[in-house]
Structures are given as C-alpha cells and as structure tokens.
Structure 1
Amino acid sequence: MTVWTPLSHAERVLIYLSRIRVDKDSDPVPRDITQEGIAEAVGISRSHVPRTVKGLIEDGLIEEAKRHVRLGEKRVKVYFVLPKGLKKAREIEEKAMSRVVRAKIQNTIVEGMSLAQLEKAFHRRIDILRLSGEEEFIDLDAILTSGVTDFSDSPKVSIFLDREDALEKMKTFLKSRALVLAIYGAKGMGTSSLVKYFIQMLDDWNILWISLSKYRTLDQLMGRLTSFSKALNSDIDKILHTQTGSNVLVVFDGYFDVDEQIVEFFNSLVERTEGAKIIVTCRDSTPSYNRFYRKEHLEAGLVMEMTLKGLPEEESKILLGNEDIPDEALRRIFALSRGSPMILTMLREGDEEGLRRNTTFTNEEIRFLLTEARMKKS
C-alpha cells in the first residue's frame, strides 16, 4: 500500500510563494506574502515561518524584504520567490504529482494511479497543498478543485519565468467585459506555457483546452466542445452564448493558418455579450486573412490582445541551466535566441535535432550555440 508522504514545511512555503506573483518593486504588497499570510495559507504557526524561510533564502530560492501591507502602517517582512525558486517549486510539484497513491472518491477506493493520472481521469485539478499528512488514502473529494477541467491536449510546463505583467493582464481579462483574449507570440515564445500556468491557478472555473494542431476541422472542434458541454450537463450554445457559460473558460491553442470555417466560427464569438471566456494563443505571423476580429472590436472592449516577448537575460540564464556560463557567452546566446524559451530549453538539453527542426539557424550556428551553452567560467 502506498502512503502519501507530506511535503516539508519549506517545500509547501516555496510552492505557495511560487503561485503568488508580485513585482518586487511593489509597495504596498498583498498580505499573502507576509509571515502571517504564509502561515495561514500553508498551515503552520506564525513562529515557524522565520525558521522555514531561512533555508529557502540561503539556497537562493526566495528573497526577504520589508514592505507596507497598508500605506501609513509599519513595514513588515515579506517574501518574493526568485527564478531559481520557481524552477525548484515546479520540480517538487511534478515529483509529487507522479507519485502513485491510494485514493478515495465518492466512497470508492482507487489504487495504482498517480496524482497526475487521477487529475486527468476525474477532470479536476488536485492541489497538493491541500494534502495534510501521512494518510492511509487520499480523500479526493476533499482536495479536488470545484471546477470541471480537461487539459488533456495541453503542453507540459516545466519552468515558468518572468511573466508577471502578462499574468496580470490575464487576470484583468477575466474581470473585464471582454469575452475573447488573443495572445500573440513567435513560435517557441511560450504563449502556451503562459496560459497553462495561468489556468492552473483557477480553482472555480470550468476549463477546456483545445489544441488547434490536433483538431483542425470545425467538426472536430465542435465534437470536443460537445463532449465538454455534456460533462457540464449543458450544451454548446448555452455554454458559449448564455449566462450558463459565465464560469467557463475555453483555451484554443495554436491559432495560425486555420480552415476558413474555423475563422468564421471564431468571428461568431467576438460580438457576444454573454457566455464563456475564450483565450486564443496565436502565432505572431498569423496571416491577415485568418484574423477573426477587427480594430473596432478592440476599441469597443469586446476583444483584448497581448503580445509575448522573449525572456530577459537573467531568466534566460536560469533556463539554460548553466549558472557558471561566462557573461560574454550568455550575451551571445541571448542575442541569437532573443530569449526564446523553446530555444533556450533545447540548448539546455543539447537537442541539436530539435534546433534544426524548429529554428532557422544554420548548422554552424547550432553547433556554436550548443558549445556556448556548455561553457564554464575559468
């Protein structure tokens, strides 16, 4: 029998802080990142927080500062997760989600499945911070999020860095009257990873992810929507065009050179006043004849759009995974990669074939980049 071994206090704090994205220059800041806020969220006493965060600070995973929670009041200690901490938090979560456990749901015992497999099977997200201690079995009814989710077509997100501004814009979108958000980026710039990271933070939304590279015809796309609508005990029209869909979010990933019927379908979603929120990730080179909204839709607030750029140099270094890379080598890689997460990841993994297949670099440039990525300071 597999028994769930709880995360350490430090691991829980790190994962929690990795989900609270606050600009380090902000003042005031949310109470969430104070010692009191951390203690309440993670389930430890306030007196344990200083000891718990000490090791995280020493390991370069988080940073301590003093900020106001309310202007005019005394500044208090607050904590910001650093890029290295984001990477470590993701590794901890992935390892935890791969654990095979014994679980209980609706008075039924389920064995032989990992947390990630259970999450997929029951179309709910599992928050590992809700797992308390060493339990004979995991009570899924108590820890599954309330929203119905289907992320089966979504990409795996390994490391997510420096996208605070983009995440804030996405939060603004959910609160706005706009029902469509278009996110543009060059191939490999991380638009899919951004959206995947964002939706994993939403507990109460019903979320469907549709890959447009897999579902290429309107009939295939509608079939996917139909299946999800049935899981919500509803139908497509109600989900997309009425208040029934007010807590539904549909992600269409990989909008680029699509069928004309799909363009018309997306165009029909633009001028809605009710229904599901739609996020569309688009290639920045999407042909003009595939654009499904116009300037007046943006001006009227019916559609929001944003463009994702490359990572800054500091985060590019972290993604490369080489802390001892010489500054000049890093600058040369940064100049050629333009901070593309896809390129930096392939350089870290030494994926020469992937670079040939997915970039316009010459063979000579690829060999040069791979050599630079492995260099160490003397």
Structure 2
Amino acid sequence: MPSMTVGERIVLHLSQYTRHRESFQCPEEVTQKGISERLDISRAHAAIELKRLKEIGEVEERVAHVTRAKTRRKVYFLNLRGENRAREMRDYAKEKKVRIIDPGGEFEVVEGQMALNVLKTDINLGEARAYEIILTNSEIDLADFKREEKLQAPEEKEPEDFFGRREELDYFQRLFEKENPRIVIVLGLPGVGKTALAKRIPSLFDVPCFYHPVKEWDTPELILGSLAAFLEGQGKKKLRSKMDSILDWNEVSRILQRDLKGCLLVFDDCHKSKKMETFLSIFKDMDEFKGKIVATTRVRPFFYDSSDTLLKGRIEELQLTGLDSQGTQELIQHIGKKLDQSKSEHLHEITNGHPLFLEFVLARGEDRARTDFESYLHDQILSELSVTDESTLRKLCVHRYPVTSDAVQGTSSLVLRNLSRMLLITEEEGSYSVNPSIKSVIYSRSDPRQRKEAHSLAADYYLKSEDDFERLHHLIEAGRFPEAARLCLKKGEELAEKGKAKEILEFIEILQPKVKYTERLSQLEDIMRKIVATQ
C-alpha cells in the first residue's frame, strides 16, 4: 500500500483554503496549530515540513488575523507551484480505480471520483482526508470507518531491514570509481527488495545524496522543486532561482549538469509515474554529467535502448532477483525463527529467495503463504495482463529450460517484448524463460485443461528440437500416454546411457497402469534397475 509524506498531506490540506489567500481574517486551519491538529501530527513536525515546503517553493507564509485569535499569527497558503502539485494528486485520485466494500460485504470497483463522494457523504470525511484515503488504498472497506470519526494518520515507515545482497552492494560501492554508468536501472518484481536496496545505497558513500520515493502524481516539475531544495542545502541556489519563472529546460539541464557533479540521486519506484521517464531522459543525453543516478522500477523503461546500454555504456541494468541462501538465512534469523539447515534450504528453494514470499511462509505457513503471495502478485502485476499475455506465460511456464519463440508459435514478438519489459520473462540470446519467482504462481493459476494443453505444445516443440527426454516428460504431463510409452521403449536405453536411468524408471511407473505395453515396459524397467544399481 503506498504511503504519503507529511509534506504531501499538508499540501492537500492547504489546497482547501486557497480562497482565503488574500483574506484579512483567515481560518485557524492554515496556522501551524490548525495544520498539526487537522493532520494529527506534532506542532514541531508541522513546523519542519512547512519550512521545507517554503524552501522548495510550494508554500508561502504571511502574518494575518485569525478567527478567534487575539493577535495576528503566521498563516500558510499554497503558491502556484503548490497548487499544481495538489491538482496533480487530486486528478490522479479522481481517475484511480478503487474497490469499495460496503458494510454488508458487497463490493464494486469504481472511479476515484465516486469513491470520493462516498467517503465525503456516507462517511462524512473531510475532503483532504478523503483524497488521502483514495491515494493510499486500492481497496476501501466502509465498515472500517465510523461517521465523523477522527482517523489516525498513517505512521511514518521505518527504513526496511536489509539482508544479503553482497554482490549488489559491492557493485554500487564501485559506482564512483569510473565515469560510466551514469544511470543504473534496478529492475525487480514487487516485494523483491528494491526499496530496501535503494534506501541502503546512500549509506555506502560520503557524497551528497538525494533520495526520492516516486509517487503516482509526480511530474518533472515537482521533482525539480525537491532537487532545487536539495541543491540549495549544498549552497547551490541557481536552480532555486529559476523555479519561480517559466522553466527553460535547456538552461535547467546545464544547471543540473554543473551543480550535481559528485552527487548521488536515488529515485525509488519509478514505475509509479509515467513522467519519470521524461525526467530521467534529461540526464541520459548530458555529455558532461559527472553525478550518478540509481532508479528502481518493476517495469523496464522506454527512454533508453541498446545503444545507451551496450555502446555508450551510460546506462546499466541490474536485475534484482531473490536473496542468496545466506541472505535467506539472515532474514530467517532476524524474524526470530530457529530452523535447521535442511529446513532453511527448503524454504529458500520454494520461495526462490523472494524476501516477501519468505516472510509470508514464516508468518503463515507454506500453504497459506503460497495463496497469499499469489494474491499479492495478482493485485500488483498479473491483474494488468491481457488474455494473450497470460496465455503466453502459461505456455512458457511448463518449460524447465529456456526455449525459443517457436515454443509459443502464434505469439507476436511485441507480446514477448512486453512481458520481458514487465520482468515476467527473461530473454537471452533468443531464448525465453519465465521469471522463477512467478513461475509456480502462473502454473497454479492454470486449470488442468490449460496445463495439459501447454505440456502438449511443449512436447511438440521438443519433437522438432529432437530433445527426447524433455519430449517424454511433457508427453506424460499432457496425458499423451501411448506416445510417451512408444518413445520410452524406443529411446529409454539411449537416454539411460546419458545418465537418465532413474528418471526413466519413474516414467515407467507412471505409464504401466495407463498403456498396453506392460510386458515390454517391464523388461525395460528391469534394464533400468540394473543400470541404476551400477551407477
């Protein structure tokens, strides 16, 4: 579930009071005291955030008479930049799809505008709080709210605990030792640890670091405002001086190129805003950029191509997969579970070291964890797949080894590229395989008929590629037992000579009750047992 910073909540709150900007007497809600009470934060926290919002040019401060106050007090209002930021958040919320669950348990997926009306009229929430609920939730259970109830603000998240990733940390520690890459794109599925890594990276360097968790409503202008405040803190005020006028992006590019020398910029969850690609592309084309950028995302961006990654070397991709066995052990110990080596290895194997899946298993048990993890991946990525996308994944997930596009005949290269961009499949030298972290999820989401069809296609693929062992495996899984028996009798001894005698024995045990070649299969079984005994 996404969270909102206190600064973003203040912007939404103040956006309700724009009409009072020039008023002689202002409501208490635009004072530090009023803001802290409405948002349920400390007065000190409100003061710190208001100071920061003034520094990045989104809030203005003046002194005015305040309702029921005996003396004039400081009041705060959004300026044009702040209003634009609030509008971006509100527009995103209105268009967002939200699942509303009524007190009786019935649900309906609606647009944010309708959800906003429900929260304001049925639940009697204030406008800013209603927007906040929509921005931070994809599902809203009305039974959780009481009319006119004061809701608690979301807690600030503590930095994620960090385990393993020694190779990745070693890679980043050497980042400033050479000119390229200037941009590192960290790719990974949801829950694999991208944010934990992004928050850890700044601690590796004694250089000015800028960390920005990307939000759905972020625009290049909003991020630039935060960067201007960051640079101003370094004593570099040129960018800040340009923020109050119409931006000349060529001049902005020159300022960034000069003032970000030796700095590290970390942008986390870049997939959340489509406009992040526009912002990052600015740095790709700077010839003299001497800073470093790390961007995490669950979707491979469009703003660069192979000439940037392979030829110029300005951009590198780092694919974040599951933890190694040592990282898995560290996570298990941190959670407080005492498991023997064999049990730890089993958990590492079934979860592929995926940190979130591993936490699910440790907290809920293997069976429930698998169901919950499948639901999580469905909500995060699989629900966005087209029928063609999911069909292609079903065909690929039955394969135990990478295969060429012939294994999914009739599937366009565009579909394969899109699945690769979403990190659901990997492509290497013209061969494709399903990401190990979702392979079992895709397979379990297929019904028995779909699985048999996929295995049958795989069996035909291996007939063409002349891989008898894989063909035999898929014929059995597809229920094509007579063909499997004939192939087993024909190629069994040859495959046994290649070290597959034990597997052939297992195939024979499956086939004997299902086909008429029982006597010949029994003879082959005797031969296999003798071979296994000598191995």
- TM-score calculated relative to the size of structure 1: 0.47
Decide which structure has greater helix share: 2
Decide which structure has greater strand share: 1
- TM-score calculated relative to the size of structure 2: 0.34
Of structures 1 and 2, the one with the larger relative CO (CA 8 A, separation 6+) is 1
